[in-house]
Amino acid sequence: MTRPDRGTAGSGSEQVFTFDGRAIPFVAGQSVGAALTVAGVRSWRSTRVAGKRRGLFCGIGVCFDCLIVADGEPNVRACLLPARAGMQVATQEGTGHGDLEV
């Protein structure tokens, strides 16, 4: 049985965004972090110094473990960002400003 919060195939409520080139389905009202987690993606950023993998932790915007690059903008909290069809989401490496590092 499909859980209601995951949508049902063919229901018309399921849409898709891309994460590192992979299609991620979501239902209306779902955050990017929730959609990634449901799709089996558990980490989507690396820490600044040690390069440790991070993903959804608090789920309510208090911490900053779930930072992503959304449509080219770094440091966006995936747990707070509503998923939109066609958006381009990417793994964030370090500060998300690699182009500015010396």
CATH architecture, range 14-93: Roll (3.10)
**pLDDT the model gives residue 101:** 52
**pLDDT the model gives residue 12:** 56
Q: How is the chain split into domains, by residue range? A: 14-93
Q: What is the mean pLDDT of each run of 10 residues along the chain (102 residues)?
A: 44 84 97 97 90 90 93 96 98 75 50
Residue 33 phi, psi (nearest 5): -60, -45
Q: Measured between alpha carbons, how far is 68 from 29 in angstroms, rounded to an integer? A: 18
Map tokens 């309510």 to a residue. 60
**pLDDT the model gives residue 95:** 77
Q: Measured between alpha carbons, how far is 2 from 71 in angstroms, rounded to an integer? A: 30
